[in-house]
Structure 1
Amino acid sequence: MSGRKAQAARNDELILRAARAVFTADPGAPIAAVAERAGVGISALYRRYPSKEALLQKLCGDGLKLYIEITERALADDGDPWEAFAGYLRGIVDGDTSSLTIKLAGTFTPTEELGRDSARASELATEVHHRAVAAGVLRPDVTPADIALLFEQLASIKLGGEERTSELRHRYLALAMDALRVPPGHRELPSHPPTDEDLSARWRPAS
């Protein structure tokens, strides 16, 4: 890319990263807060995204595309059925697409493209779910909606920095996976549990 195009691409990446952080913390935040966090001028932001709604649509569209990519990869895995399903679960947790659902659902008007991608994501999630049930590795009384809410519960875990948050999400995912698997599974939980100090620290005012 030319220098100008490369700079525009860098700005776009900064804007989207900042928008995700700002709006998952506070969906009602103004678009100016995104520009400030990204370190770009408000005019540069508006040239790329003419409104807050357009920015929210882009964020959720990217999240849906990532969800689709992860699920398609799981469906393409012809190896061990449980490991394919477990890889799907871990991939969605790592992708953190559910944080967008928790915070942004109902805050903007979806486009037709978002509607199509949402339908595709739902179709694929149902397919990967049914495949695991048919293989006898996922308990049949669990539904795709149960898994969707499980993802949201895990996405709500935010403790310490990004690395620690990821560790804890995978710890509780491992607990959930033992409950989901047929026959019941059990393995050592990743990472160590949060301490009382970790939990109490959330109530201290930010410096």
Structure 2
Amino acid sequence: MPSPTSGRARQAARNHEAILSAAREVFLADPRAPISAVADRAGVGISALYRRYPSKEDLLRTLCHDGLRTFIAAAEHAAAAPDGWTAFETFLGDVVDADVHSLTVHLAGTFTPTEEMNADAVRAGALAEALFRRAHPAMRADATSGDATMLLEMCAAVRVPDPVRTGELRRRYLTVLLDGLRDGRTPAAAAPTPAELSWRWRPPAG
């Protein structure tokens, strides 16, 4: 017979997943939404939410850190592919399917990252750069790893009311964009700079 303690643990786990799922939906729609909107969407009391996340910033950090860990896991998984292009393509496809960049684009700059998040961000960047370098011989000569970052943001911008169709369309445009990355033509403008790629995370001037 299950103990009351195990039952409470299962309920707590369900509440945790419900809160994170609701937070993702709420903050993707409106990053400025109050934390009470998350509790309403999750169907939990506001006190239960605050016991886990004392502030909205704590919840935003958790969401983005989960996305960062997903990114790292995708890179580590793809690294096992036998050739560079397949590894790179697999990595980008997994990140697009996980919808990691929708949160990044919406929530960047809305909270202060922890030291652990900063360390994971460095690791994520190193893994992605290694995958890019393996694939680079199959790419146009002027391709940079920054192009891959912007490519992921473009795919994240594709959204229609049907989630399944959204996934299909993102995969379609990922294929189109990757085909362009392998093309030999030279673009009209230079690739994005590191400052252009990280501007969302910089504090406002003044």
TM-score (norm 2): 0.84
Do residues 160 (structure 1) and 161 (structure 2) align? yes
Please name the residue that 2:70 is paired with.
Answer: 66
Unmatched tracts of structure 2, length 5 or more: 186-206
1:136-166 Cα shifts (integer Å, max 9, x gaps): 2222311111111111111011112110111
Q: Which amino acid aligns with 1:93?
A: V
Q: Secondary structure at the match of 2:143?
A: coil
Displacement of 1:183 after TM fit? 7.7
Query: Aligned partners of 1:61, 1:159: CA distance in 2, in Å?
Result: 26
Percent identity, aligned pairs only, is: 55
1:61-89 Cα shifts (integer Å, max 9, x gaps): 10000000000111122x23322221111
Contact 2:78 2:87 in 1 (8 A): yes
Please name the residue that 1:108 is paired with.
Answer: 111
Please name the residue that 2:152 is paired with.
Answer: 151
Q: Which amino acid aligns with 1:180?
A: L
Query: Aligned partners of 2:94, 2:110: CA distance in 1, in Å?
Result: 26
Q: Secondary structure at the match of 2:138?
A: coil
Superposed counterparts of 1:15-164, under 5 Å: 15-77=19-81, 79-133=82-136, 136-164=137-165
Please name the residue that 2:195 is paired with.
Answer: none
Q: Which amino acid aligns with 2:97?
A: D
Query: Aligned partners of 1:123, 1:169: CA distance in 2, in Å?
Result: 25
Q: Which amino acid aligns with 1:86?
A: E
Displacement of 1:26 after TM fit? 0.6
Displacement of 1:177 after TM fit? 1.4
Of stretches 101-110 and 79-88 in structure 1, the one that deviates more from structure 2 is 79-88
Of the two structures, which has the highest relative contact order with CA contacts closer than 8 Å and spacing of 6 or more? 2
Superposed counterparts of 1:164-203, under 5 Å: 164-181=165-182
Q: Which amino acid aligns with 1:173?
A: L
Q: Secondary structure at the match of 1:141?
A: coil
Query: Aligned partners of 1:82, 1:144: CA distance in 2, in Å?
Result: 13
Q: Secondary structure at the match of 1:2?
A: helix
Contact 1:137 1:183 in 2 (8 A): no
1:122-147 Cα shifts (integer Å, max 9, x gaps): 111111001111xx222231111111
Query: Aligned partners of 2:139, 2:72: CA distance in 1, in Å?
Result: 21
- Matched pairs, number: 181
1:86-106 Cα shifts (integer Å, max 9, x gaps): 111111100111011110000
Displacement of 1:18 after TM fit? 0.5
Query: Aligned partners of 1:40, 1:138: CA distance in 2, in Å?
Result: 49
